[in-house]
Each structure stands twice: as structure tokens, then as C-alpha cells.
Structure 1
């Protein structure tokens, strides 16, 4: 029996040594206090309080190391512990170190036997690193929010249900919605206070918007063009991209970013227009006429262009020489307007240069229809023109060449044939050298 007692005492002492070793080497601080005085601290707690050794802490009042703002809460928590083994919930508080610094911690207090009385054993977890990480994340989020709010590019976040979670000021400005308005937030694409358009200015169903595809497939889409008709009646053109906010998260919302390219698009179209239209009359220029004619000749099906008319004004040089180029320009502009009014909407009329015009007549044409049209054009252009007090009469010579299925001529040859037909139609007194050659069978002089 005596040996059993000795063995039991040895086991208990060995267990106590193991516990003490565990407590001493745990990364969390361990503090035991009784009757308001600290009676034990482990090595981690010594470091946490910036002490040189345990003797600087043991025997000191507990409240010396607890921030005044945390004392009342601590007292309330431990006052609820009644029996040995009772533990408090996790709670955050602030400790005060010996050097005056503070430490944010999370604590759990347990009422436990200590020597011949009860004491409070406190497990203390240092939150300094966690708080630093949280602060860094918070600063990063604030920085991100600040940057996004200052972008000229619109940024909208759409949740998995297709509803707007957030929109930066640039997005609201581009969409024409008040920055204080809640119309965007929580709205689905269908409920947005604007009409979405595709690149061809046709209504864009929400199911076809790239953001919908990104939400459905996770695909990143860049460089798409779409338009919005805003509540104020303005139409804006946007170049956008869409991607998942967190690609690795299946529940991630999508973010759509877009830049306003309205002015750029208008400028580009203006440049394209200037490259293909005559600056004086606004008619198609030689380049566009030849391009359209080449396309018609390359078509193996029904020819979109049936007849080409070459129109030249008789005696126009005399107008420039006697009245000046300003009046000559006015005459050309009025002639261009008369040609457009006399032709159908799908006919193309252009200015080759000087006083020469070309017309591409669409659809099949009968000879009697062509003669009637030519007579109408000549009659329209022969009406007197009043320019800066001068009464000017302008006549025109018109040559025609018809296109046939399988026509193997080049646009330049077609142009030459129509020019030749026009030359033969010009009154003898107005003919000039240069239009020589035999008229083909499918050309007509009028």
C-alpha cells in the first residue's frame, strides 16, 4: 500500500511538471491572479508585458496591467464565475505594458484551485499581429475605394443575381444618374434607368450583355462596345470589359468597367466621313464611288447597281472665270442638292471633282425609265440658280453605261465608258479633247 502511494505521488508530480512545461512554452500568455493580485505568469506573458522577468509582475495588482477602459468589463466577466472550472466567454481587452505601451488581447478566464484557495487563470492571446493585418486590409480597402472613386472609368459591381452592388461616381456620371440617387443600387440590368444598346444602336437584351455571360460562365470579356440612352435623352457610347471580382470564388460577383468613347467614336466617324465624302457638297467622293462600284461588280447575284450615270456641267469654267470661285462653289452645292432630291434614297450620287458627278442607280432599269430619269435630271439642273444676286443657268451633259450580270469591267473602265458616253452627249461647242474612243454598245449619250 505504501508503495502505491509513493507511485501515485510520483505520477502526480510528473503530470504537474508536464503541465508546467506546457504552460511555460505555450505562445499564449498565462496569468493567474487571486484577490486582485498576480500570483503567476508564464514566459509569454512576461514578454507580452515587456517585463524583464516574472518577478516584475508577480505580486503586483492586476489592474496595473489592465487598461482603465477594460477594467469594468473584466470585473463583470469574472464575477459570473462561481465554481471551480467555470470559464468566461472570449472577450477582447487592452493590457498596459511596463513601458507604457498597450497590447490588444483576447482573454478567457477560468476559476480554478490554486494552492489552498480559488484563483482566476487567464489565457491571453495577443491580437497585435491580427490587428495589424486588419488595419492593413482596411487601409488597402480605403485606398482601393479612393482610387476607384477617382477613376474617369466607370466601375459597377453586379452580384450573382444580376443586381448592382456598387457603382463609382464615374459610372453614375456616365449613366446620367444623380450621385445621391439610389436608382442604380439593387437594380437588375432590366431595371436600370436607361436603355442599353448594342454596337449597331439596337436594343440590347440583358441576357446578351457581356456581364450576363461573365456571371454565367466566369469568362472575362474585354473590348466590347455598347451604348446607353440616358434619362436626360443623351446617348453615350462605351467601351467595356467584364470579369469576376474573385475568380476563385464560385459565388463571386462580377465587375464591369467602361470608358466613355462617345467623342472618340464621333471623331472617328467624322474622319471616316471626311475620307469618303466631298468636303464642298457632302456627296460621296471618287474613292467611295469606286469602292461601291467595285463591290457591285464583284457580286455574283443580282447586281445592286444597274446603271452608272456620268454628269458634267456645260460651260462651268466660264462661271468660275467670270463670277469667281465662291459663286462657282455655290452653284456646285445647289446642283448636288438637286441631284439628291431627284434620285431615290438607295441611289448613290457622288462628285468626282470639279463639275463632274457620278450616279450609281440601284436595281434593274428599263431604257424608257432611264430616258425619263435623265430628262428629269437635266430639267432639274437647268432651272435658274440665284447666287449672290446673279441669275445663272446651268445645263448638264449626261452619259450612261449599264452593268450586266457577269460584267468583267473594272470600276475604272466603267467610269471611262460612262465618261465617253457623256462626252458624246455634250454640245459640240462645249467638247474638250481627252474623251476619245468608240462608245461601247451598253453606253448611252443623253
Structure 2
């Protein structure tokens, strides 16, 4: 009873009303009350929002004066549905007209409430200017970055947590050989691209860099892989992948990649040129000595058993009498015959002029070695027809054998084979100086 008397105490009611007015007056959101379409109250925030100099610029005027025409009908429909005091409309965006003629986007909630013994509509108005500015700034940023990404020569693909492609820039579609509609929404496993590891072998799906990133959160950089496109082209890519938001377990991943097909081909071409003789295509001196050094470095299961030093007899006379062009043709044909006469695992190289070096793979029995040398000499002795000239080429072949824990350097092995070759030359050809004799050499 005492509680009811306190609630009905006029002093308490006035105090409550005063607190309510203070709350409304200092609210950061605009608050306006309209009764029968006429504004009867406007707090300071709504006056600022409407750019009103005084309350009289707003109070007493029709609420329609401040509503953009396109927003009037939806507003009337919302407040028509408010039939019970205390009920509120759903938050709705609309556009207001300000006193200076400008426009402002707001979000409003209308409440049917008692106002001086009458029902009126109290409207809470939230200014969307800052939100709209932020949205516009974000949209501009997204458009800017989308434009930048679309112009990149680097392919960029965003893949969601489940492995489906969310977006792919034009470079990615160009590299993959797909249109946008064929990529977006497709699971990465469903794209008919065969991925290859750096050795051109099929790559397990668990190795895909973006799959690793999605599974572990790991950032992968400079991952080289190949892909076979539907049009039959093989491209080589260098890829990076990372989570878009490392702090979010459900984050999508972004994969970027450069097409390095031409670079890879040119690098391999440069490597080939650095290790092969440009005239014959055989291994050059540096590559042969490198392979020989590797063989000498093994302590068991020698990969090279014997070294053959081959020199063409009388080749200088061919160059002097017929010219270097014909001499080059002779060297090319001799190189081809040597390659055909050896096994695939054997190595043959041109170490200079008319001199060739052969590294025989694995163990070779004496009889087999003699038979091989005979075949090589017979093959090279077959007449060569070059520009109408019939040319007879003979060769001298020296041999030195390698053994386990061979302490010689590659140059020493080469020297011993060279000495053996000079011993093998026929008497009509001058012999080179024999600086030392090696038990590991013999002539053929």
C-alpha cells in the first residue's frame, strides 16, 4: 500500500518526468514527437541534424516537411500499424530533408506513446552519415583493390575454408585457361588441372600449397609446381598462399602465383649452354670433369669404371685442306656416332678441338671393354660424306681405370687417359710427351 502511494506521489512523478526529459534532451540520437502529423517536440540532437537555428524552425510544422517524398508512404504505413501504446516499429532507413534543403540518411524507430493525455508518435532518429561515409570509403577501397588485383599479371585466387573458389582475377583465369564462371564456386579438387611437382611428377592433393594453408594456417612461399591445362599446355608456377585473416580459424586463404614457364625454360637453356658443347651438343669439359669428380668422391659402388680419351687422327689436315665448316660437320657426325655406340648411362663429352672423353658407367669386364673400343673405332672409321667430300676418320683411344678410394684428381685421371691415348696413336702420327707412366692406363 505504501509502495502504491509512493508511485502515485505527484512529486515522484515529476521527478521521473524530469529525468526522462534530461535523458531525451541529452540523447545523441535525434528524438521528435509528432501528433496528428504536427511536430510538438524536438530535442537538440534532431535540431542539429535538421540544421535548425531554433526549435521554432521545427516545432509546429508538419512532419511531412522533413521527410523525403519517397520515404513518406512507407513511413505512414509503419505508423498505421502502431495501434497499442508502447508498441514500436522495426528500425527502418529513410531520408530526411533538412532546413537548409539538404538530405540526410537516417534510421528511425517510431513508438506510439502518451503525450499530454493524448497519443502521439515518438520517433528516435539515428544519423547514418558517418556509417554511410565509412561504407562509401570501404566500397572505394574495395573497388581500388579490386581494380589493382584485376590488373596484376600475377594470378590471385581466394579459396574458402571448404576449398571452394570465392574469386579469381583475370590473370588467374588466363593462366588456368578458364573463364570466371567456370572457376567461382568450384571446389579446387574439381578443376580438371593436373598438378605436378618440381620434377614433373603428379603431385598429391595434400601437397597443394593452398590446401596446406587451409589445413594448418601455414604460410607457403615460392612453391614451384607445374600444371597441365585442358588445352594441353603445361605451365610452371611459383606460388604463395596465406590466410586472409590468420586470427580467424574459419578464414579463407589467398593464393597468388606467377607464371615462370618462360623463365624456367630460359634458365634451363642457360644451364644447358653452360654445360654442353655448342657445336656437338655433347657435355663440355666442365660437366665431364664435374661428373668424374663426383665418381672419384665415392668410396664404394663406383659409378664410373673406366675413362676413355679419344682423339681424331689427322683432323688438323681436314681443317687445313677442306675448311673449318667441313671440319665442324665431321665433329658433329663423330659425336653422333659416339652417342649411338654407348649406353644411355655412359657419359660422352667434347673436351676441346677433336678430343672427346667417355665415362663408362659401372663395372666393365676387360673383354667387353676391348669389344666396345673396337666398335667405337669402327663406327668412327666409316667414311663421312660432307659437301661432296668423302672423308676417312680414324681415332686413337686411351683408357684409364678407376678404382675404389682412387686418390687421383679429375685432372690427373684426364692426364693418364691422355697419355694412354698418345701411346695408342699409329707411328705416322706424332706422339705427345710422356711425363709419367701409370699402371692404370693401357693403349688400344
TM-score between the two structures when normalised by the length of structure 2:
0.97
Q: Secondary structure, in 3 states, of the residue corresponding to 1:182?
A: helix
> 2:181, 2:50 → 1: CA distance?
50
**Equivalent position SS for 1:338:** helix
Superposed counterparts of 1:104-119, under 5 Å: 104-119=105-120
Q: Is the 8 A contact 2:7 2:13 kept in 1?
A: no
CA distance in 2, matches of 1:396, 1:86: 110
On the 8 A contact 2:194/2:228 being kept in 1, the answer is: yes
- Alignment partner of 1:359 is 2:340: no
What are the within-5 Å matches in structure 2 for residues 365-380 of structure 1? 365-380=364-379
How much does 1:67 deviate? 0.4
The one-character-per-residue Cα deviations of 1:385-411 (angstroms, maximum 9, x if unpaired) are 011111101000000001011111110
- 1:176 deviates by 1.7
8 Å CA contact retained: 1:183, 1:193: no
Q: Is the 8 A contact 2:423 2:431 kept in 1?
A: no
Q: Which residue of 2 aligns with 1:266?
A: 265
Match in the other structure for 1:387: 386
Whole-Å separation in 1 of the counterparts to 2:7 and 2:205: 83
Cα offset, 1:167, TM superposition = 1.4
1:166 aligns with 2:167: yes
In the alignment, the residues of structure 1 paired with residue 147 and residue 9 of structure 2 have an alpha-carbon distance, to the nearest angstrom, of 68
Distance of 1:232 and 1:358 partners within structure 2: 43
Q: In the TM superposition, what is the alpha-carbon distance from 1:84 to its structure 2 partner?
A: 1.6
Shift of 1:135: 1.2
Instruction: Report how far residue 432 of structure 1 moved.
Output: 4.4
How far apart, CA to CA, are the structure 2 residues paired with 1:208 and 1:405? 41
1:339 Cα deviation after fit: 0.2
Contact 2:158 2:255 in 1 (8 A): yes
For 1:431 and 1:437, locate their aligned partners in 2 and report how far apart those are by CA, in whole Å: 15
Return 64-73 or 112-121, whichever deviates more. Answer: 112-121
Distance 1:195 1:188 in 2: 14
Q: Give how far 1:184 is off.
A: 2.5
Shift of the 429–122 alpha-carbon distance from structure 1 to 2, 3 Å rule, reads same
Give 3-state SS (helix, strand or coil) of 2:161's partner.
coil
Does the 8 A contact of 1:189 with 1:206 survive in 2? no
Q: Are the aligned partners of 1:95 and 1:104 in contact in 2 as well (CA < 8 Å)?
A: yes
Give yes or no for the alignment of 1:406 onto 2:402: no
Deviation at 1:187, TM superposition (A): 2.9
- The one-character-per-residue Cα deviations of 1:60-83 (angstroms, maximum 9, x if unpaired) are 111111000100000000011112
RMSD: 1.5
Q: Classify 1:181/1:7 alpha carbon distance in 2 versus 1 (closer, same or farther; 3 Å).
A: closer
1:288 matches 2:302? no
Distance 1:286 1:259 in 2: 36
Find the counterpart in structure 2 of residue 47 from structure 1: 48
CA distance in 1, matches of 2:198, 2:232: 18
**Map 1:12-411 → 2, pairs under 5 A:** 12-177=13-178, 180=179, 182-411=181-410
List runs of 5+ in structure 1 lacking aligned partners.
Answer: none
Cα deviation digits, residues 398-440 of structure 1 (max 9, x gap): 000010111111100000000000000011221244x323431
The answer (yes or no) to whether the contact 1:307–1:362 under 8 Å persists in 2 is: yes
In 2, Cα distance between equivalents of 1:183 and 1:424: 71
Range with bigger deviation, 340-349 or 167-176:
167-176
Tell me, in whole angstroms, the C-alpha distance in 2 between the residues paired with 1:302 and 1:187: 52
**Post-superposition CA distance 1:103-153 (Å, at most 9, x none):** 111111111111132111101111111111111111111112111111100
Runs of 4+ in 1 over 2 A off after TM superposition: 4-7, 180-190
CA distance change for structure 1 residues 233 and 440 in 2, over 3 Å: closer, same or farther? Answer: same
2:168–2:180 CA contact under 8 A, matched in 1: no
Per-residue Cα deviation, 1:356-375 (whole angstroms, up to 9, x for no partner): 00000001011111110000
What is the alpha-carbon distance in structure 1 between the residues aligned to residue 348 and residue 28 of structure 2?
88
Q: What is the SS of the residue equivalent to 2:415?
A: helix
Other-structure match for 2:441: 443
Q: Return closer, same or farther for 1:181/1:273 CA change in 2, 3 Å cut-off.
A: same
Alignment deviations for residues 233-279 of structure 1 (CA, whole Å, 9 cap, x no partner): 11111001110011111100111100000100111111111110001
The 2-side partners of 1:149 and 1:6 are apart by 68
Quick one: distance in 2 between partners of 1:5 and 1:209? 75
User: Partners in 2 of 1:136 and 1:419 — Cα distance?
Assistant: 78
2:400 and 2:442 in contact (8 A); partners too: yes
